[in-house]
Structure 1
Amino acid sequence: MESGGRRLRRLQGSREEAAAYYRGHRVPQRLEEALNALFPQRPADIYGELANYLSKFSKAPVICKLVGRKVLDGVGQPTLEVEIYCRVKNYEKRICSTVMSSHSQIPENALPETTEADEKERNDSVNTAVEWVNESLNTMLRDLKPTEQCKVDKMLGEYFTKKVEEKKETQKQEEAAEAILALTSCTPSATALPGKKKAAKPGKKVAVAERTIPPAEPAESVLCGSLAIGGTSLAIAKAGATISRIPLYLHIALLKGNQDSPKEITLPLPMVTLLNCEKFSPAKLKLVKEVMLIPPVQLSLKQGIERVLDIQKEMMRLLEPPGKAPSPQLADSKKGRAHNTGKKAPVKGKYEILTGTFKSPDEMVDMYVELINKFPFIIALIDPLRKEDRQQWNNICCNLGSKCYLIAEDAATYLSKLKTDQDINLPTCSGVVLKYINQTKVSDLVELTGLLDGQRHITILGSPDGESSDDSLVDLAVGLGARFIKLGGLSRGERVTKYNRLLAIEEELAKNRTLREAHLEFVAFAEESQPEKQLSDVIPPPKQDSLPPQRSQPALQVRSLSAPPPENSTLT
């Protein structure tokens, strides 16, 4: 008796006979339609074509398992990896994974006990995050489609809110227990008389002639285990892109554009760290943290990176003392710890710009105005003032907003503090540096960058302190339409991996003819703008000629972080 497959091959040239044969053998109608569609094409491999055709009708892949584990980041600190497994055509398949970058506020010169406490807290946070992923989140997200990013992020947000409330309740119970213990053990001699410690010496007066820096805002506490939220959200986004068979940057762009595919995409300009002034400053400069180079927009990214590398090699040669072997990483900095910069620790309400040299907030604005007028190729200042000094942010933007970008980074460390309803809770500035850390979700970045775009701020995606080799940050920056990307120096594998990813995306967009040329445009701020107003209310419409003519064709654009470069450095 002739088999069905042999009969099919024999009747390959006759659509009518094949259809009649399978109707007689009660073949499903969908298979008959597939055969009718395939026979006129006379494919060489009828079974392969049939399988491809019928795969269109298979069930969409769904999440079947999440796996969390503790791994090491670029500086050997523990962090979280999240793997996504999906059920694809009835088979469990590993789709992707992501490694979160860690973030620390502990300065490098912290006391040993502080460092030890920070390391313990980091380990506890990662262990808790692994537990969340493998237990609660694994159960909660099972059978959801990885392409449902908004739905997943909403569930992650609700889960995180629940954990925050549980933590608050636990703290209340602990405080109540401590209060009861204190009441039962206190003695009359231990009770301080009110007002004794605050008594001032008679006749002493406080000088109020100069405006001083407002006190520092309290740091936002980070919930132990919050890495699980950010890691899972980003892993789901990568899985959604993989399932949709598109690059992650395009998947992010579709999320931001409500599924409208962008016709053209502009690459973010890289801010490449050239000089770490905390290591190389001979004059004990307290104000400058880093000097960065931004390739000119007229060059391709590949050409710009090559030019930056040439300048970096020359800087290494100039800064190296005679007779010494060249230092391997000029712009490298020890990451995983926050740097202790002078501007974050003012003395008597003033900024310490050099060791023993202080300037008032008003003097700082005058200094920056003089700096930009003297060095017109400095196109951006990041955190030129403390985030609490909002009045001076307003003044510096009014004076320099049309000449360079005034960027807030410290004020944007935690995304949860940035948005208040439909306003941006920031000092007056040109834009912000956003970092994907802790409980940040992909939907948060999509919403926030859309809001920043609407209020005409520029967005910079920045690499956190403890970097990983995961290059998803680059795709996020491209898909979100960030103006700049801040990755550090051209050294170390975890950074170079990201630069290589940016070069690969440029090549892909150029091949698809969807690469749009970047441009720089500064916007003048209104003279009487107030920090509490929305930026869109105080900035006039942009002008086409707002970019000064002398900067339209720079050999290399120079960007300094917080202050001018060291006096003995030539950066042009």
Structure 2
Amino acid sequence: MGEEGGGRSCGTTRELQKLKQQALEYYRENDVPRRLEELLNSTFYLQPADVYGHLANCFSKLAKPPTICKVVGKNVLDGVGLPTLQVEIFCTIQNFPKNICSVVVATHFEVQENASPELVEAEEADRLQEVSTAVQWVNEAITQELRGVAPSDQAAVDQVLRAFFESKVQEDKERRELDRSLEDSAVPTPVPLIPPAPPPPLPPGKKKGQKQGAKDSFIEKPVLPPEPAEPVLCGSMAVGAVSLAVAKTCAMLSDRPLYLAVAALKHPQLPPPKAEPKKGHNGSKRGHQPVTGKMSHLGCLTITYDTIEQPLILIQGICANLGLEMGTNLHLAINCAAHELMDYSKGKYEVMTGAHKSAAEMVDLYVDLATRFPSVIALIDPFRKEDSEQWDSLSNALGSRCYIIAASASKSISRLLEDGAISTPKSSGLILKHTNQTTMSDLVEVTNLLDSKKHISVLGSPDAESSDDSLVDLAVGLGVRFIKLGGLSRGERVTKYNRVFAIEDELVQNRALGFNEELTFSDLNEEDGKAAEAAGPLSATEAGEESAEV
């Protein structure tokens, strides 16, 4: 026992001597004695407490940079009281763990207004499983993978998260293949005992090989069934949430707002923007008038109307009462949500109760609306993504004076980056959502891709959002053209609008806010490489102004 204790003592002594030697070399290389002497001379007439404070600041600058020591996931409630994920980042700062920040992200599930009780119950179970799995991933594997990583290295963090997600995808694939093989081995292949029925006879008066008559040639093409939704790996929201939390941690540790940290990721060599004078806005009388109708979970007022034009005429009247000029002070974007209008039993879009229109007739409807109401500058999801011919027709007809935006008709960000086909269906821009496994690096990459193809980027909020306002900083930092937040009601949306105003005030105070009120539309009739000259990618400050307008 004595010899063993003496061995450990010698080992400890040698380690201490090694550490002292390393400290001396560090002090010598960084010229610490000279710095302390200068500091003491400069603080000679200060009080002792002030001197100690300056010394503490001096040594803090020489301390090891912060590293991630723990990532914590929690099950919290979103804006509509449903479970979602919160992520907290703890960093080791000067040898002590410290809670730096937290973020709350939304799930990918849509909020169903009039769903059946069975569907609601099944979706609640899926949502709870999604959040529980994400919490488990964060608290176990992800916190182990990121321990010791610097939060300032976003690329390294996102690479770790991508590798982790790919391993989970592979595990899920192997599990499904195993389950399928077990099912195939357990169920014997049935042997058909009854021969297949003969094909039905031809209609009377029509022989085999006979060509169709003139009437048959005008029959509309059958409506394609909706494409299956892209699969979402249960727990994937943990990846996007942790990536955002690390970006916010880096911003807080460097004492700068999140939008500047995100802008630095997209534009590493971005020069400071030139200051431009802020243009004034026309004053207007504001009053509250009673409005009746049901408010949806998106903050939209649901009203009854007799014609398609009636809501637009109502908005025109409201703007006139407020002293706002349509097309100058206010522009409109119509969220058509065509995938929700399709009546598959009739193969047509039900634009109003009992009023059905074919896909070809919808093109004429949109062209007529855009012509009669020039303040409409964007149509979001005017068709289902399966109606590719109508997307082409509408883009050719309106693409030079109206944005044709794909939201639900677009692919997920991961699929866009994988395929690189952003023009399917043909559109002038996409609505991007920070959900599931989307990292900060993915957002930078997909917005750069859209910028290179002269497409506009719109950052949109999910259905079941929270009061976390990071979405606004992402929109400004990424330089997207617009941000889609929903109606001005309920705290989770008002918080984001307030964040838009706060960023605008910061940029005005820093004389870094430039205004670009001109709307530029690309000619969608040209190829991507020959598109008409359009505005280049916006800087962080320009994007902040555009977000404030929206």
Tell me the TM-score normalized by structure 1.
0.73
Cα root mean square deviation, aligned: 3.6
Identical residues among aligned pairs (%)? 46
Query: Match for 1:152 among 154, 157, 167?
Result: 157
Partner of residue 374, structure 1? 372
Query: Match for 1:398 among 396, 399, 415?
Result: 396
Mapped pair 1:279 → 2:279: no
Q: Alignment partner of 2:232: what SS?
A: coil
Q: Alignment partner of 1:380: what SS?
A: strand
Change (3 A) 1:385 1:34: same
Alignment of 1:204-215 (within 5 A): 209-211=219-221, 213-215=223-225
Shift of 1:92: 0.4
Mapped pair 1:112 → 2:117: yes
**Letter aligned with residue 529 of structure 2:** D
Change (3 A) 1:285 1:117: farther
8 Å CA contact 1:278–1:285 kept in 2: the answer is: no
Q: Distance in 2 between matches of 1:439 and 1:129?
A: 11
Partner of residue 31, structure 1? 32
**Letter aligned with residue 227 of structure 2:** E
1:412-466 alpha-carbon deviations (Å, 9 max, x no partner): 3621222345542532211111111111111111100011111111111111011
8 Å CA contact 2:88–2:103 kept in 1: the answer is: yes
Gaps of 5+ in 1: 1-25, 268-272, 297-303, 312-338, 530-534, 545-556, 560-572
Change (3 A) 1:194 1:441: farther
Change (3 A) 1:95 1:543: closer
**Letter aligned with residue 42 of structure 2:** Q
Query: Match for 1:519 among 513, 517, 520?
Result: 517
Gaps of 5+ in 2: 1-24, 207-211, 279-295, 320-325, 537-548
1:460-489 alpha-carbon deviations (Å, 9 max, x no partner): 111101111111001000100111111111
Partner of residue 8, structure 1? none
Tell me the TM-score normalized by structure 2.
0.76
Q: Distance in 2 between matches of 1:40 and 1:59?
A: 26
Mapped pair 1:504 → 2:484: no
User: Which deviates the most, 405-414 or 458-467?
Assistant: 405-414
Change (3 A) 1:89 1:164: same
8 Å CA contact 1:526–1:539 kept in 2: the answer is: yes
Q: Distance in 2 between matches of 1:430 and 1:73?
A: 32
Alignment of 1:247-326 (within 5 A): 247-260=257-270, 262-263=272-273, 279-283=302-306
Query: Match for 1:82 among 75, 84, 87?
Result: 87
Partner of residue 468, structure 1? 466
Q: Distance in 1 between matches of 2:61 and 2:299?
A: 54
Q: Distance in 2 between matches of 1:413 and 1:292?
A: 32
Shift of 1:524: 4.4
**Letter aligned with residue 133 of structure 1:** V
Q: Distance in 2 between matches of 1:389 and 1:525?
A: 21
Shift of 1:188: 4.7
Partner of residue 237, structure 2? 227
Aligned length: 466
Change (3 A) 1:248 1:524: closer
Shift of 1:220: 0.7
8 Å CA contact 1:80–1:129 kept in 2: the answer is: yes
Q: Distance in 1 between matches of 2:301 and 2:492?
A: 22
The structure with higher relative contact order (CA 8 Å, sep 6+) is 1
Q: Alignment partner of 2:103: what SS?
A: strand
Q: Distance in 1 between matches of 2:447 and 2:195?
A: 52
Mapped pair 1:121 → 2:119: no
Alignment of 1:166-205 (within 5 A): 166-183=171-188, 186=190, 188=192, 202=203
Query: Match for 1:138 among 138, 143, 157?
Result: 143
Q: Distance in 2 between matches of 1:292 and 1:427?
A: 30
Query: Match for 1:477 among 475, 478, 481?
Result: 475
Q: Distance in 2 between matches of 1:188 and 1:421?
A: 42
**Letter aligned with residue 537 of structure 1:** G
Alignment of 1:411-490 (within 5 A): 411-412=409-410, 414-420=412-418, 422-424=420-422, 426-490=424-488
**Letter aligned with residue 394 of structure 1:** D
Shift of 1:41: 3.3
Shift of 1:159: 1.1
Shift of 1:233: 0.7
Shift of 1:274: 13
Shift of 1:543: 8.7
Partner of residue 18, structure 1? none
Q: Distance in 2 between matches of 1:437 and 1:285?
A: 33
Q: Distance in 1 between matches of 2:470 and 2:481?
A: 17
**Letter aligned with residue 536 of structure 1:** D
Change (3 A) 1:157 1:344: farther
Shift of 1:50: 2.2
Shift of 1:120: 0.6
Q: Alignment partner of 1:508: what SS?
A: helix
**Letter aligned with residue 209 of structure 1:** I
Q: Alignment partner of 1:479: what SS?
A: helix
Shift of 1:88: 0.3
